[in-house]
Amino acid sequence: MKRICWGLCLILLATTPLAADGPEQPQGPEKDQPAAEEKGDEPVADGGRVYLKVGGGLLFDERRIAVEPAFGFGYRYTQGSFAVDLSVFNETIGPTVDYAGYKEEQEYERNALRITMSRWIGISFLWVAEPRAWNSFFTGGGLAIETLDLELASESSSQTGLGVTFVAGWEFLRDRTVMLFAQAEVDLPCYTARFYGDRFWVPSIVFVIGAGL
């Protein structure tokens, strides 16, 4: 009887797996973790664009505000949050004054003057708020070489000097071939012009929309 009991114990020990280990659960193939998308990691508007802009300007004379059309050309190079804007031939053209009744002995009137502001070349350094977005606010400032022309009938006067400029605006469609923008430009001349003994210091604000390619 003892032999039978010992035999059964040996058979149980040999055939019974350890309960603690238990059957090994099959494991499926490891799933690859999707790589984090790097969407928007790179600035979308790096590089240079030639642009054209049109709009209107306000020239602030001592006794009036002259509203005039404006246009200009330029080149803007963007690298991340930094941009350099080189503008050429930016002009606000004063309205033509009717001088049909003008006579040489007519008394000089400051408010009858035609005022034209020409910014021949200017450079601005800009900060772009969201370089990775398709649209972004930008602002900055710079310097410009400009000429203020004053005209009354056959008499005229002009003064060329340096102007300090401030720019703020918004760029749209920065990831497209043609980018659009709208901006305001403030110009503070570092000079004055003279006409008939009057002194003219004419700051201006220009509002433009433009397209760059």
Question: CATH number for the domain including 117?
Answer: 2.40.160.20
The pLDDT value recorded for residue 174 is 93
Q: Is residue 30 part of a domain?
A: no
Q: Is the dihedral of CA 176, 83, 50, 120 positive or negative?
A: positive
The pLDDT value recorded for residue 156 is 87
CB 153 within 8 A of CB 99: yes
Judged against a pLDDT cut of 60, whether residue 13 lies above it is answered with no
Q: List the structure tokens of 180.
A: 């659009």
Q: Is residue 120 part of a domain?
A: yes
Residues 6+ apart with CB under 8 A from 69: 54, 55, 56, 57, 92, 93
Tokens 């280990």 locate to 21
The pLDDT value recorded for residue 8 is 47
The pLDDT value recorded for residue 98 is 54
Q: Is residue 128 part of a domain?
A: yes
Q: Is residue 13 part of a domain?
A: no
pLDDT tens readout for residues 105-151: 556 778 778 889 999 999 999 999 999 999 999 999 999 999 999 98
Q: Which H/E stretch holds residue 181?
A: strand 179-189
Q: Is residue 24 part of a domain?
A: no
Q: Is residue 135 part of a domain?
A: yes
Judged against a pLDDT cut of 90, whether residue 202 lies above it is answered with yes
pLDDT tens readout for residues 14-34: 545 544 444 555 555 555 544
Name which of 167, 161, 132 is nearest 146 in CA terms.
Answer: 161
Number of domains in the chain: 1
**Average model confidence (pLDDT) for the chain?**
82
Judged against a pLDDT cut of 50, whether residue 88 lies above it is answered with yes
CA distance 109 to 61: 13
Mean predicted confidence (pLDDT) in 191-203? 92
Reported pTM: 0.74
CA distance 68 to 206: 9
Q: What range defines the domain where residue 193 resides?
A: 47-96+111-212
Q: Is residue 91 part of a domain?
A: yes
Q: Is residue 8 part of a domain?
A: no
Name which of 132, 112, 144 is nearest 44 in CA terms.
Answer: 132
